[in-house]
Structure 1
């Protein structure tokens, strides 16, 4: 069954959802696509509220759009209006994404849960008196000690730990260069002998990436400017490449 080409009106979203639930696969897809198209602005807006918190904005938008489809398929008229239902669903999926995938350093589960409780308590206090609540106020609100609240709040940086490539304010040197490291040249030689043969299987772009990072000692941002991509893309490429080399090295050791 085909869909009439005339555009739908925004106030018939609920009817469209009910029609999609009852339709065959092809027609259901067309109906869901129309509903998604209408509410993409909502998904982008909600994803934008969480940008800058340690997750890539494009990834957050993708999570929000998947959640929008989930809301469409899970909605029925007994749950009220669609937009409030979709908003709750999208926010829930975004928070779940942060909880499951966005920790640079994963704290204990109780700290993760306490952070959610702190956010809820803070929002309630702001709505009550329009002032940022003190640590002691939040502690009373969620029945926890002030020390526990401080611990959970300090762990928020685990979403996006400070990059070792970040320049130090006074000297401009990357942070990683200012950190003392115990080691010896013999350890470096041993590592180089292990990794050298593994690099023969890499393509030219991968070898160039390693050369710029570990021979030329370029920062990820500097490499991104040379290659013509974003720093995030360089970070991902390096992570995947190094993971592959570690895996190959482990297999070589086991052989």
Structure 2
């Protein structure tokens, strides 16, 4: 049997007692810096354990059960998304960074897109069309939490693309001409998986690569921008944890 045809019982058997209850929230993070991210994020959880599938962790934040995985790129991000969505996890949250095609958007802001152009190369196999939607209520709640944390919060027109490296100046200019403002590598695929299984999803993405200015992650940011990026990166995970508590209590407050 191919994996897309598995049922919920297959994943329950595969994870066994290690799961300790279906997580209320799955938090995914797309990053090269896996070791640092895992150390920082898992330190905020209690009763942390690695599940039988490597690099997927479960723990608790208060009364909320939280799963966490560093999943770089859409093909990897759909795997934990698929497992936990099918198991019954209510909300899947993509965090990480994104590139910017629109002049005037600084590094260190946070975009909470309401939809994304699904050009990740995977979404269509989960039934997605050209665009996928994130959950409006959870997006609004995340927006509020991030503003309370004094983040510069945006709702951009977003696109997900298969590769950070396969982005030419011509491609980025074409996106800008379409009105697309930010780009990442996971969000639309995560939303497509969530939608297939009737779950909610959202993305909280820190702006980093200023592509309209010719600045990539290889170019050092000014100190004040680097500080804003670090602060936004912390704020997105803290917002995800607060959302997990709200899921555990029954929904957005």
TM-score range, shorter-chain basis?
under 0.3
Structure having the larger proportion of residues in strand? 2
Structure having the larger proportion of residues in helix? 1
Structure with larger Rg: 1
Structure with the bigger RCO (C-alpha within 8 Å, sep 6+) is 2
Q: Scaled by the length of structure 2, what TM-score is found?
A: 0.25
